[in-house]
Amino acid sequence: MLTLEHFLTLSAIMFALGVIGVLTRRNAIIVFMSVELMLNSANLAFVAFATKLGDPIGQVFVFFVMAIAAAEAAVGLAIMIAVFRNKKTVNIDEINILKW
């Protein structure tokens, strides 16, 4: 039988995968995608609790998270394009102008 812990463990595994992606990848877009994976794992935890508690608030929050993720993707990728326009790369090891 399925328990709440099944879903929360899946959520934890996905979050850890996102952390691995953020820490090991050098392509800024893939780092960004790993962040999306982590947002998704948070959504999964929200939905699991909403079903467990029989309360739709958790699912409403998933909506807000999705809206913010979409806004973040639109602006973040525009920033990525602007960086590429200036530096000809999105390798985060080479985008180091702040540590001159």
Partner 1 sequence: MLETYLPILLTFAAAVGFAVVATFSSEWFGPQTPNPEKHSTYESGVKPLGTTKDRVSIKYYMVAMLFIIFDLEVVFVYPWATEFGTLFGEHGVAAFWSMMIFLIVFEFGYLYAYKKGGFKWA
Partner 2 sequence: MTLASVLFYFFATIAVAGGVLMVTRKNPVHAVLFLVLNFAGVAGVYLVLNAQFIAVVQIIVYAGAIMVLFLFVIMLLKLGGEESVFARQPFVKTLSIVIAALIGAQLTYVFFFAAPDKGTMVDMETGVYPGTVKAIAETLYTKYLLPFEAVGFTLVAATVGALVIGKKKLED
Q: Which of residues 59-78 bind partner 2 (CB under 8 A)?
A: 59-60, 62-64, 66-75, 77-78
What the block records as the tokens of 95 is 């985008």
Determine contact, residues 36/73, Cβ cutoff 8 Å.
yes
Phi and psi dihedrals of 99, rounded to 5?
-100, 75
Q: Which of residues 73-92 bind partner 1 (CB under 8 A)?
A: 73-74, 77-78, 81
94 binds partner 2 (CB under 8 A): no
Q: In this structure, what DSSP letter does residue 91 have?
A: B
Which residue, 74 or 100, is less far from partner 2 as judged by CB?
74
Measure the CA–CA gap between 100 and 39, rounded to whole angstroms: 32
Q: How far is the CB of 98 from partner 2 (least distance, A)?
A: 18
Binding site for partner 1 (CB under 8 A): 63, 66-67, 70-71, 73-74, 77-78, 81
